[in-house]
Structure 1
Amino acid sequence: MSKNIQKIVSVTTSIATMAVMSGIGMLAPLAASAATINEGDTIREASNPDVYIVKYVGAKKFKRLILNPQVFESYGHLSWNNIKIVSQAEMDSFTTSELVRALGDTKVYKLIPNGDIGTKQWMNMSAEAFTAAGNDWDSIYVINNTDRDNYTAGSDLTGSGSTPIVGGDLSVSLASNTPAAGVAVEGGARIPFTKVNITAGSSGATITGLTVQRTGLSDDLAFSSLVLIDDSDNIQVGLSQTLNASHQVTFSEAITISANTTKTYTLAGNMAASLDSYNGQLAALSLVAVTTTASVSASLPITGNSQTLNSTLTIGTATITAGSTDPGSAATKNIGTTGYTFSSLKVTAGSAEEVTVYSIKWNQSDSAAASDLANVVVSDGATNYATTVSSDGKYYTANFGSAGVVIGKGLNKDFSIKGDILNGSARTISFDIYRNTDIAVKGNTYGYYMTPTFTDNGITHATAQATDINNTTAPYFAGARVTVGGGSLRIDKNASIAPAANITEGATSQILGGFDFVVQGEPVNVSSIRLDFDNVGTGSTSDVTSITLNKTDGTVLSTGGTAADDTTSFETTLEGTVNGHVSFSGSITFPVGTTQVVVKGNLNTDFAAGDTFRTGFSTPDARITSIIGGTTGNTITATPATAIWSNTMTIKGGSLTATIGTTPVNQTVISGKSDFTFSNIVLDAGASGENVKVTQIILSNTYSASTDVYSVRLYDGSTQLTTGSNVVTPSTSASAALNTFTLDSPLVIAKGTAKTISVVGNILATAAATHVENWGFTAATTNVTATGVSTGQAITVTTTADAGPTATIAAAGQYSWALDSSTPTGKLIAAKSTGNVMTILRFKATSEQINVEKMMVGLTSASSSGRDIKAFYIYDGSTLLGQGVFPNLNGGLSGNTASTTVTLSTPLQIPANTEKLVTIKADIDDINTTATVATAGHRVALDIISRDTVFVETTNNQGVGASSGTTITGYGTANASSTAQTTAYIYKSVPTVAKVDLTSTTLGSGGTYDLYRFSVTADANGDIDLYKFSFKIATTDGTSGHLALTNLTLVDVTESSEVTLYASTTNFYDTWTNGFGDDTIDVVLLASPGTPGRTRAWTWATPPSRRPWGGAASSWAAPRESSTSWVARRQRPSRTAGRCARSASGEARTTCSRRLDSRAPLWGSTSGRSSRPAS
């Protein structure tokens, strides 16, 4: 449908629907066609079994068929015994309705019964089409889901309108978790009666009124008031309301329901302090009206379960008195006051039960606006809780979260409300507790919210304006009144607009100081300002003239003229003797906020280099006077009452130094290079008292040939300082010449700063290799021409003789490579494994970027052949550069070396004078007895070959210079014909050894303890035979012999049945040297059968023969995974799945493996072949 046209459906629902939502089984009779037929009755004609339920809408009477017994019984309040037998005439007086919608579903259906089953059709039409078809809005029944779902969905009924008929923009229904029937106790607060769900459609809605009515057999006086609770945060919405003569209240606080969301609200009651007169009454609360501009779909009234009023149950109490930090009496606080405590109350729990405070709602009852305050929080002494402000700006609510603040029986807790005063001159502030239920406090034993008792303090707020507490009328707690004073002026130092700096004698408009004039509350008019001077040196204060106060944008606020010398010291000063001052008259208006004020003045030439002074206010309250509030007209005193001084200024003359920078260093440059930086010039005005203007620089050029270089320019960063005719091309034939650079525009170096100027030029393509160029300074003081910006005086620039870095010209760059320390050493590699890292090489390019295009890769170990490697790959990081295979030749450094030249699909780019790591990976071929492929035990090394088999530099490694375009042959280092890569060993299957953590590291006296645990895992390729383990044993203690280990055993703990593989009767004690064991145990094993891919675990165990007394024992496998020290507990060995292995044929062998150390592989498997011993 293209346009949403909705009609408000106002339906008085059947008794069945209302019972489903409210739990009420009977309603008072409404108008009917016969006195015995009431709203919601079920009726049938004596000769017909069909049962109908009736409803009345004004004078209209409707009946609707109840489809079958399942539907009848789904309405729990209906009874077969209550069906009324009526005449046919009475039955015919009711119009049969076929229109329904289910509770919570906006779709309206037409029902077509067919015996005990039926069909439903959605009336998918506009409101206009619905009416035009002769349908009656009042005939729509609201039913439950069981009733609706007993009808099978049929085709939609459509009309000529554009929008399907729905039940409204806003749906209101009884919540499924509405409170069950229970007890409402006297003095109880926020007693929940009814929960309602409010659901918005696609456009959202705002509710401006919810009308609630007290119903049931009860009295209005049983309720002191009703409240509306937002279930999302357990906070009361708006104010509590008292029942009117119609037994109703209206909550008018605006409630916004976002589009397609549901919010739940609780209708709750604050009970009277005594329910003696109402004990046993049944009360309920009904939502009877919803005020909103949206169309509403609701079966009103919506009523929750009845609650029984009880006057006999005694719940806990909460007593309210003034808190310890409550001001108590009226006060005046100026704008700008921060963190002021406006009110404080103490909550004391009674002896009956512990209580929890969940929220407090404070009423700011006086004239100040919410915008006059900021950072208003409620504190329990430990935590500051943010407050939310009501739409009218008068109520501040603090929510203490789902846990609340717990107060034990008989104990108390202070709650204070505090904040900052921003504005509101002459306004007043008073934070009150208006209603006694505005403090949400709940008993933790009985679970009821309670109405706190306020202890009268005998003070009348209206007359004393002090804290007034009473227990009878609102406000129950009236906070002490705070009167907001007029505006305020505070002076702060501003170091950022006037940092400590050098200034120049004889200069004008020098920055002498900076201050912040901070105004709050109202604009202020200042008529008298006296600025103090404090100086050290030969000059006096009167040497400063034309002193002004200025805004940072240059606007002059006031002119003070020439400073005068004083003979009295006012504060602790730089010198402690003579001070001066200057007075500013005339009114200056400072607006609310911060005005940055800069003090400027002219310095005559009586100062000497090194003189210092500062400006400030000896005390602002005495120096800045005649201050009037722009709004109130009140007299204001500036703050603070302590001295405020600006940063110290130092008198300096204009100065500049020029040096050759430390970068670039001596370097090689390729002929034909453009925009090459020969040197950098550092112009330093750090010691200058004024900004420096540079117009000309003279540089010395030392060279092999003056024609090697042309078009030399100066740059300030990316800005070219010399262009056109100011670009220099050396033309003299002398070996050293002076070249003058006249800047296009003067270059200004700010005092206290430095600039780096680059000398940039081009190298001729015909420049000869080995020629050199230098650009620098001679020792002359005329190398740089400079003047002071403020004084216009010439500055003598100090230069240091420096020829500058040497640039050596070369025809092309070079590149090389060497083995990187991260290359794996002595690793074991399993057959058929892929992506094994074999070699990591460090490539380096000099003088220019080199793009390497070809690499010659070879097998350099004689114990290898091309069959061992299925393929190899060359990587730059994660980027594959190229790959290749080896010919079926033996490896080695000479003879039939297996090597392959790879043309890289992606060239290796090595930037000039940088390094890159290149990784060579390999896939290992299979090892088996049926084909001639890889050989078990071969030692494999993959390298870049830099020389051929007769040790002549090969041209198979080539790159291209990015600048020169020259083809360049690379060269390797550290070996006659290749890099020195450590060999790897290949086997059909290899083991993985891992240390297993102990569950305890405590030793005791006696018993068996695990000292070291490890596992060995066979690769999935095949079995592994284990031959020998070697361990080092270490013990240590403060006294010889205090820790001894005996009966060391090596135990196989893989299976549930532990197997002892080795036992020793040797005693070990005090065998510790620099953290390493001195004693070695070699364990020789008989091979045991196993399964590829499985893991077997072992543990060392021993009983210590003496109590350790803090001693420690360690053991290592060699090469060791890590050491382990024990200082505590006994443990059981862990068990890990897996087995040791025999050979493929199953026989036990003792020569199948190598010693477990760092010099040789640990195990080998040849799948039927004998493996070689270690050595």
Structure 2
Amino acid sequence: MTVFVMSGFTMLVNVSPTLAAAQAGDLIKKDGLSAVYYLGDDGKRYVFPNESTYKSWYSDFSGVVTVSSDELASYPLGANVVVRPGTKLVKITTDPKVYTVEPNGSLRWIQTEADATALYGANWAQRVIDVSDAFFTNYVIGTPLASNQTPVGSLVKKAGETNIYYYDGTNYRLIEDEVAFLANRFQHANILTLASFTAGGSTITGSEAALIKTSQAGAATGWQPGQGTGVTVALNSMTPAAQSVPQTVGRIPFLKVNLTASNDGATNLESITVKRTGLTGTWTTFKVWAEKDGVMVTSKRALTSNDDAVLTFAPALTIAAGQTATLEILAEVAGASGNGALGIASASAVSASGSTVSGSFPITGNLMSFTDYDVTELTFDSPANSYVYKVGDEDVELGQFDINFTSDERDVVVSSVMLRNTGVEDLSTALMNVKLENNGNVVSSNATFNGRYATFTFSNGGLTMLKDDGDQTFTIKGDIIGKDSTGTDSVVFKLNKTEDLYAYEKATGFGVSYGNGNAVDVSDTEIQSGAVTVSKKSSSPSDTTVIKGSKSVVALVANIRADEIISSDGLSVYYMDDSAFDYSFSNVKVYLNNALLGSFDTAATSSVAYTAELLDSSLNLKKGDNEVKVTVDVKSAATAGDNIKIKLDGADLLDVPEYVSNGIAVDAGDISGTATGSEISVEGGDLTVTRNDGYASGRIVVKGSADVSLGKFAVKASNDVIKITSISLGSNVVTGDEITDSSVYDMKLFVDGVQIGTTRNFSGGATFSSLNYTIAQNVTKVIELKGSFDSASTGTFETLATFNSQDSLGKAIGAKTASTTDFEVTELGDLIVETGADTPNADILVAKSGVEQEIAQYKFTSVDDSSNVTEIEVTNTAGGADARIANYKLYAGSTLLDTAIPTSDVATFYVTGNQLKVAANASQTVTLKATFNPIEVEGDTASTLELQITDVVAKSSAGTEITEDLSATPISNEMTILKTKPTFAKISNLVAGANVEQEMLRFSITADSNADLNVTDLVFDITGSGAINIGDVSLYQIGNSTVLDTTADGDFSGLNILVTKGATKQFKVVVDTTGLASDEKLSVTLNNSTAANIAWGEYFVTGYTTYDGSNLTAFPISGGVDTY
């Protein structure tokens, strides 16, 4: 029997202990270790983060192969395995969004519960598994899944038919028979029933490698975000692969990195220093920048002479607490040769407002080889149309341009277009709602203005232009809202620089080349103002939804500009309901310059058109700007879905307008413009309930457990304040071996850890009445259900929760339901004991009286039930060290659990007061420390410790004794107890030159403060292509010009280097490098991988004892590789 531990999940399975040579596609493990890996065809091993992920690919553990430790170590780590497409739905524990999984870990958000039900049935929630924050970054967020869209990788069939199909994103491929079905490890539980679809593509007749490849497209490295304040940097699994790239091109994707802010606060990213590596010779241009979601977030920076560039985020890029931002590092090159890669060399290369930066550095992208390649050429062209409009004109054309394929045509993605305004008007005060259309569709809404520049960012990550579709025409449209200058060239758009059109090849990511030059004219718009102009103000709200009973909802904020003071007998206001009124709105108020001008009630109509209402109230318009604000009330009995729009129209605005100065009527032709308000829609209050606890089917509970979490439900009050009046629990719906109702009791509800309602027993169900718990509008609360189980029986349990509620007007909302997962109540849990992940490495421990030194860490994991550990027996399997041990101490964190003195190599710790109580499905690590007796004579030295936990006494939550699982062999690494020890450290390595005595390495030796020591042998490895051409190798003590020894190969034997206790001596290795040729390489290294490379000893009154380099730390010490 073997225990498999997969990132927190533990399962007992039978695995053959026979060692076997593994092949690509095998499931492998090392004998005595718990982790299971998938061996990919790239020779890397991929780890399963939990059981749910494993079971999405395999039905059991029967195929696991045990390999030797050497063989396992020969396979480098690849990444974490992600959930198989078409099997489970996933969500993150801190976000209620539910995603379907497509190939290569691409997640598609299922936007509504109705969509989930349509695809996966009423029990869709049972497919949902929680992915922890640490592993969620193994996935890539794709675009949301549209309604009625089938996820790629799904197994489907038609209602009433038996044929099964596999959807590959293009075709629904028929699976020939059951043999082909099982050959691809498909499972019947994952088949979806669709109303209709058209079969196509080739038939699946047997196993297909692409379908059963557990590592899928592979990845860079597995990665888990760090904890604590700071930011973790890691290579994104979708970083570009090594490939040939153009020698001259405007855009090459080199690297993708994830930056994850810790859970305790946001991170403000200020700069990243990007380092170039590789064998690039020369270039005329090499500029790098960063993008996020296809948008540049830094400016381009040229590489310095040190082959690096500092990319500054201005403003700083904010990453919310616990969230991940993915950055892409790109480059523009010209005349490049050889190859190159971009990366982040160290944590110090990331500046994030003082946050601690962590990661496995250096983080480097794949190597790109520069080659002769012609990218697609696009040409930006425009008819340069001229326009004349008046202030207040809405949705008018402001320009046209074409993007044409001109050579080397391939599909491209147009990311953005930035146009410069050389006219006299300020874009932000002259225009509003500026958008870009292509073939009548809006492809970029609400252009962003930055001074004279208008940037159109294309929706959905960019507009794909297919070469087969040919050239494309784009139209700029917007509203005219103001004129501040007297000039006629009001807004003049042009493409200022060729690269202001940002596009790249879809297949390669390479930036396109351009067939046009700079300064391409696009349009010239003259804005005119009349005697009276009407326009919408930028402060006017956008479309919005409101609840019944809302008051004074702002529907329009407009501006009326008059060239003189004008009087009028009234003002006309237009209103329209797209679905015809049902008396849902009332009390429309019109304010002029913050003074109430008048009000009116809307009238019922069956016509979907604007209706005019004349406010018969005299008014004066002052010279210049006059603000008009219109508000509406929503009736308490309003119909959900009704909506209203308000408009001012210059063609019918003022009743009998006259100039106050002379009484002359204002000509109707001198009043122009329109101002159309937002759409105000009535939205009824509603309640949505989604189970979000992430509990898997068959969740284990040990009988006798109290206050067990049975379910957590995310409850959202949409569009109104909602009051939950009651929650009822249905009968046990599990079929089969049900637990008796009498064994289930004390059902409770909690919000934010506080109980709501009263405790209820379960007798065929339970009802929590008179709750009257209120949830604010558009706020989500998590309601947790807890229950207790007595010790009388075991069995299964599941219940359906029904939520009854009402809106703020007291109207009942339709009942909402959600089921708990199904629980299995069992007899007893398990306690697994193993060596802690941070247990100290093998080392030499100096016997200092009264000083505690850490020996080992041990992890206790409770499976399915809590464990109260009361006794721990530890045995020194190396034996014979009792005399050296003053005592052992066992700690849980900083809490001392017990002190023990070994007898016959065994020490027993007794833990009282529930100090080592491990919660169900949780772990706790304890630390074992030793205090040594001093070493005085030669016979006392060189004892060895290997401390293994050999027995544990623990009790379950019900008080019964648990049988512990020690199969993982919880044992410390080998510790040798000596009187003193040397510590080696590198001081520096120097750039080499062709000298008779060229310093190659400088290092130090420090004796522990406990006693003196003597170093007799130091053997240095001299490697590199120039190693055969060196002359003498000499060893010097710093500060002494007398050579300690000179050899031909760096083997210094018979030394007599005495280092007194607590002292440090420094040394240097010099090499005669005059014989090295150009481009030859040389490196000098001191390494204890061969123990005999180092010899040293410690002194005693009775004699002298020698040792080799075993268990010394901080090696290898290298001077680096120097090129001549």
TM range (shorter): 0.3 to 0.5
* TM-score for both structures, normalised by structure 2: 0.41
TM-score of the aligned structures, taking structure 1 as reference length: 0.39
Who wins on radius of gyration, i.e. which is larger? Answer: 1
